[in-house]
Amino acid sequence: MQKRKLGKSGLEVSALGFGCMGMSFSYGPPKEKREMISLLHRAVERGITFFDTAEVYGPYINEELVGEALEPFRGQVVIATKFGWKIDPKVERGLAGLDSRPEQIKRVAEASLKRLRVDAIDLFYQHRVDPEVPIEDVAAAVRDLIQQGKVKHFGLSEPGARTIRRAHAVQPITAIQNEYSLWWKRPEEEVLPTCEELGIGFVPYSPLGKGFLTGKIGAGATFDKTDFRSQLPRFTPEALKANLALVDLLQKIAEAKHATPAQIALAWLLAQKPWIVPIPGTTKLNRLEENIGAIAVELTSDDLREIESAASRITVQGARYPEFHEQMTGR
């Protein structure tokens, strides 16, 4: 497994990480625990050292799963988790608004340390920017935790470029985690150039477009109400039908490379910058192996130009989030 460093931080991780959310949250009911532990063990065996979770996934049960599964590999793996939500189990998906007050950040850190069964959180992201709390106060709270040895690295998820600069001036940021893929390229406008300038790593979540870029979701796909894609404008039947043009493009490139559409989508991300580390998630062993196979796919500069040119002629239909959630990004 190749390794990459997240910016200038010195934090080295596998070139491909593992997003653990779907094991417990958002994509239907939580999966069988023993199976997921076995899958996480297999990921470590195959060289993956970077695992992503959050207190709100479940809530809480995903951190507990990751903590139990990775406890035998303490010191060999990097675990990222997140703070920043008010959690109320009575509210749908547990999301009851934002809360990044410094005292709350410190409470979350203590609880996450216990659930993850670690002495220090490797990478602690603010899950969404809280407009009620100055980002300088957030960065200072994490800086305190770093000085106390409870956190090693600071990150932000879905911030705008100005917020990144303000936070970085207080406590250097190791990584930004935003959605980024061939069907959501907004980070290229401001966030990626800011990361490059400041020496910050970039961790794309949903690098496979929440499953769409694998080519396994057809125009007639439907989603159970327990699957959050049932609420996303980009996954309506009309949008899915229109967006299949992007999958067709990936399929064409994949056939020429003896690869799969998912592998091309991941290889495209890996080819963008050496400090980008995608975190595809899965609950299936064959998909894990497929994702890892993307590292061996070489896209030439001609391949990349062809993909960019063809993708630029495709207009992706549908917003990526409902308006309420989209308002929480890019702040």
pLDDT at residue 18, as a whole number: 98
Whether the CA torsion 229, 232, 234, 240 is positive or negative: it is positive
Whether the CA torsion 41, 112, 157, 146 is positive or negative: it is negative
pLDDT at residue 321, as a whole number: 94
Low-confidence ranges of the chain (pLDDT < 50): none
- Burial class, 126, CB count within 10 angstroms (exposed 0-12 / middle 13-18 / buried 19+): buried
Domains of the chain: 3-213+268-298 (3.20.20.100)
The structure tokens 């890996």 sit at: 270
pTM of the shown model: 0.97
Give the pLDDT confidence of 232-254 residue by residue, as tens digits: 999 999 999 999 999 999 999 99
DSSP 174-187: -EEEEE-BTTB-GG
pLDDT at residue 90, as a whole number: 78
Decide: helix, strand or coil at residue 106. helix
pLDDT at residue 95, as a whole number: 81
The tally of CA atoms less than 13 A away on the side-chain side of residue 65 is 32
- The answer for 38, left when phi > 0, alpha when psi is -120 to 50, beta otherwise, is alpha
pLDDT at residue 72, as a whole number: 98
β-partners of residue 12 are 5
pLDDT at residue 219, as a whole number: 87
Decide: helix, strand or coil at residue 82. strand
Q: Which residues are catalytic?
A: 57
